[in-house]
C-alpha cells in the first residue's frame, strides 16, 4: 500500500509560482531518472555538520552501503514523493 502524499499550503503556493519551463524541466528530469538511461553525475559541494556526517558514514558502513550511495538513495526517495 502506498502512503498518501500531502503538501503544505506553502509548498503548493511556491509550486504555483514556478514557470512552465521549470515545471517541464522537473517532469523531464523525473522521467529520465526513472528511465533505463544512465545520467552523468555532477560533483557538488555541501556543508554538513561534522558530527552528522560522521554518524551518517558510520551507519551507512554498518548497513554495507557507501554513504554517498545512501545519500543518492535518500534524494531519489524524496523526489519520488516519499517522506523522509
3-state class (DSSP) for residue 80: coil
**3-state SS track over 23-50:** HHHHHHHHHHHCCCCCCCCCCCCCCCCH
Contact 84, 77 (CB under 8 A): yes
Domain spans, the chain:
9-36+44-79
Of 2-6, 37-41, 66-70, 73-77, give the lowest mean pLDDT range.
Answer: 2-6
Residue 7 has pLDDT above 90, yes or no: no
3-state class (DSSP) for residue 1: coil
Those residues with Cβ within 8 angstroms of residue 63's Cβ, 6 or more apart along the chain or in another chain? 70
Residue 76 has pLDDT above 80, yes or no: yes
Instruction: Supply the pLDDT for residue 45.
Output: 95
In this prediction the pTM is 0.60
Amino acid at each position: 500500500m502506498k502512503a498518501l502524499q500531502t503538501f503544505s499550503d506553502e509548498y503548493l503556493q511556491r509550486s504555483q509560482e514556478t514557470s512552465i519551463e521549470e515545471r517541464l524541466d522537473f517532469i523531464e528530469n523525473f522521467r529520465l531518472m526513472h528511465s533505463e538511461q544512465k545520467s552523468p553525475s555532477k560533483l557538488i559541494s555541501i556543508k554538513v555538520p561534522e558530527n552528522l556526517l560522521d554518524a551518517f558514514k558510520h551507519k551507512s558502513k554498518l548497513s554495507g552501503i557507501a554513504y554517498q550511495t545512501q545519500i543518492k538513495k535518500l534524494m531519489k526517495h524524496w523526489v519520488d514523493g516519499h517522506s523522509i
